Amino acid sequence: METCKADIDVTQIAPTPETEMKLIAAARDGDRQAYQQLYKSYAGRVYALCYRLTADRGLAEDATQEVFIQLWQKLSNFSGQSRFTTWLHSVTANITLSYMRKQKGWFARMMNIEDSIAEQSTAESCTSEVDLEALILRLPERARVVFVLHAIEGHRHEEIGRMLNMATGSSKAQFHRAKQLLKTWMGYDDGDI
């Protein structure tokens, strides 16, 4: 299995809710040190989501930077009615999707990425030892994005449809497609539940 920093638990200690609100308030007032603290606390979460959506480390790093650059200006929109991490995940998903749309034409041509390539991937030989993270990254882009937003981030298909400018039914269809591919790659037969 590929070794990367993600395999090591380097989780930053999340600030307490009180500290978090103080950091947000200070950052809103232009305190870059406070904002750096927020970055240190949440860069891992943001990057994880960016990486799952883009399936590319370089793009995920760029998208993470884009998220924190835009977040600096969006902090005043955080009302405090939901948890900061909930709001952060939603903002991250939207900014990353927008970033991917801008990059897609160039990136797809350069890397010659086609959905069909992913579908041709072979099944895993073992069903118990599965690296789901790696399999998710192999999914075709639309199926992957819908799967990440629904199965991992917990968005409803109606929300995903709005985020991706697609019909709710299309979101459900892409999710089904993702699951079917994962099922095959995880070594299950079509008839298995």
Partner 1 sequence: METFEKHLEQQLNALPRERQPDKDLWQGIDLAIQARSDAPQTKRQPVWLASAAVLMVAVIIGFMMQPFSSAPETDPLTGQSLVKALSQQHEKEKSALLVSLEDTPAVTGNWQEQLTELEDAAEAIKAALQEDPNNTALLRMLQSVYQQQFLLIERVHAPKWQQI
Encoded amino acid at 126, one letter: C
CB of 159 to partner 1, least distance (A): 18
Would you say how long the chain is, in residues? 193
CB nearer to partner 1: pick between 138 and 188: 188
Part in contact with partner 1 (CB under 8 A); list of ranges 58-66, 117-125, 138-146, 159-167: 58-66
Q: In this structure, are residues 96 and 49 in contact, taking their beta carbons and an 8 Å threshold?
A: yes
CA distance 154 to 89: 10
Contacts (CB under 8 A) with partner 1, residues 141-170:
151-152
What binding mask, one character per residue, do residues 75-114 give for partner 1 by CB under 8 A, x or -?
xx-------------------------x--xx--xx----
Backbone angles phi and psi of 4, in degrees to 5? -150, 170
DSSP string, 124-173: PS-SSS--HHHHHHHS-HHHHHHHIIIIIT---HHHHHHHHT--HHHHHH
Binding site for partner 1 (CB under 8 A): 4-6, 9-12, 27-30, 32, 35-36, 39-40, 43-45, 47-48, 51, 57-58, 60-62, 64-65, 68-69, 72-76, 102, 105-106, 109-110, 127, 130, 132-133, 151-152, 179, 182-183, 186, 188, 192-193
